[in-house]
Structures are given as C-alpha cells and as structure tokens.
Structure 1
Amino acid sequence: MSVQSFGQPSVTPSGASASPFAAHLPRILDIVRESGALVMDHWRKPRAIRFKARADLVTETDLAVEAFLKDRLKDVVAGATFLAEESATSREPRGTCWIIDPIDGTTNFAHALPFVGTSVALWHEGRVELGIVNVPALGECFWAVRGGGAFRDGAPLHVSVSEDLEQALVATGFPYTIEENVDTVMARLRKAMLTTRGVRRCGAAAVDLAFVAAGRFDAFYEADLKPWDTAAGWLLVEEAGGRVTGFDGAPYDFANEGILASNGLVHEAMREVLRL
C-alpha cells in the first residue's frame, strides 16, 4: 500500500502549552495516511453498499477503514478506548478515547464524489487533544494538536477574516432525520440563504469543519451530529483561531442540538440566523 507524503508535521505551540499527546502525532498521521491509501484503493473498485436507514449508508470501506484504524491505533496511547461510528455502543467518550469516523461522507463515497474524510480525534479527560481530518480524494490532510495550532499538509491554517455576514460563505448539512425535522431545517436554510453570500453543502461535516479552519468557509452549522462527525474538526477550528459553540452560543459539547463553527467574527450574526 503506497502512502502519500505530506511533509513533517508541525507541533510548535501557538501561545498555549502543547498537548502532552503531541509527541504521538507523527505516528498517528502515518497511520491515518495509510488508511487514506486504503480508501483510495477501494475508490477504484465497485462499491458494496447496504442501508442503515433510507439515507444512511454503510460500505465495506467504512468497515475496513475502521478496523484498520482500531488495529493500528490500539497501541499508540496506553489505555485508550474507542468510540468509532460503525461499532459504537454509546455516544459518550470517557477517559482517554479515540473518536473515529472512518468514512465521513459515505454517500459521497458511494457516488464517487471527493468530499470524503476520515476523522480521527484523541479525547482525554473531557476535551479533544488531537484531531486529524484526512481527505484522500483531494490529497489533503488537516491536523491540530491542542495548544499547537492547526495545519494542512504542514502549512499553518487560520480562519477567514470576513466580518460581514452578507459577504460570508456558509456551509451546512442535513440530518438523517430530515423527514422529522424538515420544517426546522428549511427555516434555518432560508434565513442563511437570504443573509449570506451563499450556502454550500459538501455532505461531510468533518470536511466542512476543516474548510472553516482553512478559511474556505466563514461558518458551518448542522444539527444532530455525532461525536465522530465533529470531534477532530472542532479542535481544528479552535486551533485555527475560530469559535465553536452550540446554536444557542453555549460551549459546544456532544449533547448540543447542533454545532456552529465560524471564524468568530460572524459568529453572533450566525447565531441570529439560527434562532427560530
């Protein structure tokens, strides 16, 4: 299996003390990149798809990548457990825990759309310490270590500097429970479309959050996400200088109705957009 090189990771602290887990980053990045090679090997083959729900798919690739990551990461941090999408029995990380989405954007993968990410985060005692979002079909890998900044393929990331919501490009996503919540989803979407430069939907929350960290989107919001959708991207945005909260402005956690991530400058204006 060939692995694409992205250069040496930077873990230089940016103002705060770098995470004690920073020393593990090079090894973790190697493992995640290898999983990206596995994704791309499957990319070139016919997809075997089954349905968890009408719009909720799982492929053999989801299962293979999750198994690969769990096998390779199990010895990296002593005592760490796993909260991974395809095998999770709860939505609550505890202690030291790997939070993994092997294929974020499974529907995109099934249709050969390149917005497909592998999200790996290390949770420790109530917060994310390290996060990686690898987007192999685009050849991009994003990572962050708490206190050490955020990077794309070794280059530092920073959120955008847009201050005016009318000039902001906003991303969103739709929950699998869309039939139950379509009126609420569409009410928020209508307000976002009328008050911003535009709204985009990539179909992979981890990728959307990485793009906020990279300054490509000025904000991202979505309801009813799971820890494996947001954990790594949450840290990416904050380490890139952005802000992450619930829709109500309260500190984000996995029990929130939804996540609002932004450059910080348009955050309060976006909160008003989301208020119903």
Structure 2
Amino acid sequence: MSSARVCVIGNAAMDMTLRVASLPKPGETSIALGITLDFGGKGANQAVIAARAGAQVTLLAAVGRDADGARIVAMLGEEGIDTRHVDHLDCPTDLSIVTVDAAGENTIVTRNEAASGYAPDAALLDAVSAPGDWIVLQGNLARTVTATWLRAARRGGRHTLLNPGPVQFEVNALLPDVDVLVVNSVEAEMLSGDADARRAALALHAAGATEVLVTLGAGGVVWCGAHGGIEQMPASEVIAVDTVGAGDALCGMLAAGLAHGHRLRNILPRAMAVAAYVVGRHGTQASFPDRARMLELARFI
C-alpha cells in the first residue's frame, strides 16, 4: 500500500455535458452537437486523479440517497478510494450542466443540495489522516467547514492544499492555514484585487499562503514559492476541445506528488502535462488518463 496519503474533502456529482458550436447568448437557443453523462464534482475529480497517480486516497463528500449517488460511490470504490466517509443525504445527488463550445470553453450551472448540506466534523481528522498527510479542499462546501478543516489540519501536523473555486465566500482570512493555494486567473483577481497574475500571486502569498499557483490556461502557470520568488511556466501545446476538469486534474496530481514527498516546483510540469492531456479530450472524468497513461505522465509513481 502506498505511503503517500491524501484526504480530499469536497463534493461529488454527475456531469451532463452538452457540446455546442458556440456558447449561447442570453435569449439564444443552441443545438447540442452531442451529449454525455459523466462522473464529476471537484472533490471526486481530484480524488480520482490522486488515486490514479498512486496515492492512498480518502474522500469525504456527500451524495443523494438515489441511483446516481450509488453509481458515484461504486465508481470511487473501483478507483481504490476509501469511501467510508461518503455520506448519503436525503436529497438528490448534485448535478452540473456543462456547455462546451468548439474552442473548449465552457459554462457550468450546478445543483448543489448535497454539497451545501454537507458538514463533516473536523473531529474525524485523526480517523481519515495522519500527521504528514495532505488535506485537499475546494470551494464547494460552506466556509465554516473549510476554515475548520484547514485549521485542524495545520494544527494536527498535516499539509493543506486549497483550490477555492467556485469562490463563494471570503477566502483570504483562511490563507495562513494553506500550504498550497491553487487558483485560476479570475479567482486570483477576485481574491487579490489585481488582474496581473504575478502581482496577484505575490499578494496571496503575502496574505498567508505558503505557495501560490495561478493557472492561466494556454498561458501556463504562475508559481510563487515559499520565499516569494515568482516564475511563469508555459503550458504544453495542445488543441483544447474541453477544459472541464483540467484544473481538478492539476490539483489531484499536485496532491499525489506532494504526498510522495516531492517539491511543488519539481512536480508542477508533470501536473501540467496531465492537465494538458485532459483539455485535449471530451468529458470530465472520461477525459482523465487511465493508470497506464498516468505511469507515463507521472514519473514519481
């Protein structure tokens, strides 16, 4: 069994993806060129990638007490993810409607009854992780849940990775409890007030995050290290057909690599390679590399 342990606390959902020639404007009707139903949810996505990258993964999430919830839990089990702390709530399983255009850009509308009603007790920390493990959170759960888990994790000797999208609450006060912050350019500007990715990364580092990554899509990634150094790394050249799940793939790979004991700067190119693989394919988890392909992309496995 792998000694690289990751605990993801987030959401799990089904994704319905509609492919269109162009994203509809308000009042416009677009004809779907194709439709797929896939597994999704930022928490589940990051957990699946981390597991395929060789980490021992536990997921804390909530699904509905319905067929979709059962399907999600079965899939996670097949991935080797510990699902003992996935709760079944008396509500529908969360669903995202994703529209993707010919350039791979997307819009997402989400029903999040399960995630919004989910509040796992941070007293579970010792049951789901050990000192030195990585705790991964996103922005899907309530701020109080996110803040409590980040604080408990850091005080309990764990490492923390926060990917706060979708940004639904004030994040900056949480940053002193964050080892690695991963945001896209829009989120970076929202949190820092600065549209320049480099300055935004420095501001978020100054606000307390030990290391900061700002993802720029085709522009690559801006990294601010623990000592305030800034570097921009170019993205791999790829024809983007669907960007859904790429950020989650990056985060999952980072978590697995960090749990294997590697430095963030050293594993970032491999995580970016996985994200590039994902944007070149349709679907959410359907676009993720399988374990065999992951062996080629992640040299630390």
TM-score w.r.t. structure 2 length? 0.26
